[in-house]
Amino acid sequence: MPNEIILTRRAFAAGLAVTAAALALPLPAQALTADQARSLVDKTVADINSIINSGKSEGAMLGDFERLFARYADVPAIARSVLGPAARQASKAQLSAYTKAFQGYISRKYGRRFREFIGGRIEVADARKVKSFYEVISTAHLKGEAPFEVRWHVSDKSGKSLFFNIIIEGVNMLASERTEMGALLDQRGGDLDRLIKDLARL
Amino acid sequence: MGLKNSFTSGRRRVGLLAVLTMQAGLAGCAGAPGPDGINDPYEATNRKVHAFNRGVDRALVGPAAEGYGSVVPEPVQRVVGNVADTLDLPGDIANNLLQLRIADAGQNSLRLTMNLIFGIGGLFDFSTAIGLPGKPTDFGETLHVWGVGEGVYVELPFAGPSTARDAAGMAVDVVLNPVRLALPDKEATAATVLKLFSRLGDRNRYSDTIDSILYESADSYAQARLLYLQNRRFELGQEAGAAEGAGDEGFIDPYEDPYAE
């Protein structure tokens, strides 16, 4: 009897310790708050700006953009979603090769366009919860342009808070890339392996 | 974008076009958008028009815009753009009023007055400089406010991506433009020419974006269609959307994807 009581007390103490530790540590899941979503976008924007202002060659900048994309965006989820129905039939190996090719392709495609941001800035205004994710609303001020709205969709379903979509004046990156990837796949008669090979050169 | 409004033709031809697009609009109001939010039953015809527009851009509009951009100094381009915008304001105000958006009508009227007086007849965009940006609108938006649905997607020759509703709206805007109606023929033509130059300026300014859609994407027709519809819906839903659930329409959840696994 006394032993049992001691055990219970120990268990209780251990339980307290675990709870305290859990409270002190940010939990990977369920912990995403508007502030965290905001700060992810803040960091992304700061990194974009520092890449643009680094004065590096375009090739080096594109490499930096790819690292940035891999760090702040949920590349596997984006890649799979963009591939659409074909992702279902793909083998594991194909899907991972495709995801890798996609990461380079998308970084080059948007990286080339980030030059338009030179001398501009993005102001993060607001973050709010929508359904299962957070939407961060920002305004882009580019040189000689009327300010326009950029929305970032941020989720922590991957286990980390990462963005999975960008919406510029209503134009949805995921939707646009889905259309593009579908057309690229059609052009190759639905041959995913050819698409993977070609993405590296696009 | 850059292909918009290439109506150089006389009023009679524009009138005919208006009637035709109205009919197309009425005929095209049937049908609902698919699960992807796209209602494009005339895709085959639209694709032919798109190929034509692309040819026009490649052979004429694109090179002309590039020439315009390199020959005409930037400050002059800006002045051309400003005057063209100022000439649009009376039409915008009329539409603001038809939409019962009195605040927008007030802002555009104030803008018109300021730019005419302090911007020396609209040469300079004084209003934007002091934080009074334009509230551009069109009769397509007025129809939307009146409850007209967007109808089918159409790609118009020269004018580019549109919908049945927006095409009808564009025709009305051209025919009933207060500036055109108020100005004598010669000046009205001059205003149209000026607007065309302003469009060339836009085509040149956004050439990276336009080129990437028209010439670098795998399916430029589908890209242009998606871009137009998404951006147009964003423009039209902006006021209502700002309050609640603005991002919902375009929301794709890659984590609960029907495609995943």
Write the pLDDT tens digit of every residue in A5-52: 455 555 555 555 555 554 444 444 445 788 888 889 999 989 988 888
Which of B202, B213, B230, B261 is best to mutate for the A interface (most A CBs within 10 A)?
A: B230
Question: Do β-strands A133-141 and A148-155 pair in parallel, antiparallel, or remain unpaired?
Answer: antiparallel
Mean pLDDT split into 10-residue runs, chain B, 261 residues: 35 44 48 77 98 96 95 94 94 96 95 92 89 91 95 96 97 92 91 93 91 94 96 76 43 66 44
**Separation between Cα atoms, residue B17 and residue B168, nearest integer Å:** 9
CA of A200: how far to CAs of A27, A70, A100, A183, B189, in Å? 37, 16, 9, 16, 51
- Reported as a single tens digit per residue, the pLDDT across A169-192 is 999 999 999 999 999 999 999 999
End-to-end CA distance of chain A: 73
| Distance from the B122 Cα atom to the nearest Cα atom in chain A, whole angstroms | 18
Q: Which ipTM score applies to this complex?
A: 0.80
**Separation between Cα atoms, residue B261 and residue B257, nearest integer Å:** 9
Which of A81, A152, A202 is best to mutate for the B interface (most B CBs within 10 A)?
A: A81
Q: Say whether residue A201 is in contact with chain B using an 8 A CB cutoff.
A: no
Please list every residue in chain A whose beta carbon sits closer than 8 Å to the beta carbon of residue B250: 167, 170, 172, 175
- Spatial CA neighbour of A160 closest among A34, A25, A31, A61: A31
- Contact between A132 and B255 using a beta-carbon 8 Å cutoff: yes
- Contact between B254 and A165 using a beta-carbon 8 Å cutoff: yes
The answer to whether A96 and A89 have CB atoms below 8 angstroms apart is no
The answer to whether A69 and B240 have CB atoms below 8 angstroms apart is no
Query: What is the domain partition of chain B in residue ranges?
Result: 11-235
Q: Say whether residue B146 is in contact with chain A using an 8 A CB cutoff.
A: no
Q: Say whether residue A142 is in contact with chain B using an 8 A CB cutoff.
A: no
The answer to whether B203 and B62 have CB atoms below 8 angstroms apart is yes
Q: For B119, phi and psi rounded to 5 degrees? A: -90, 15
Q: Say whether residue B34 is in contact with chain A using an 8 A CB cutoff.
A: no
- Reported as a single tens digit per residue, the pLDDT across A90-110 is 999 999 999 999 999 999 998
Residue indicated by tokens 């501009």 = A120
For residue B65, give every residue at least 6 positions away whose Cβ sits within 8 Å of its Cβ, in sequence order, or none.
B2, B200, B201, B203, B204, B207
The answer to whether B150 and B216 have CB atoms below 8 angstroms apart is no
Q: What are chain A's domains?
A: 34-199 (3.10.450.710)
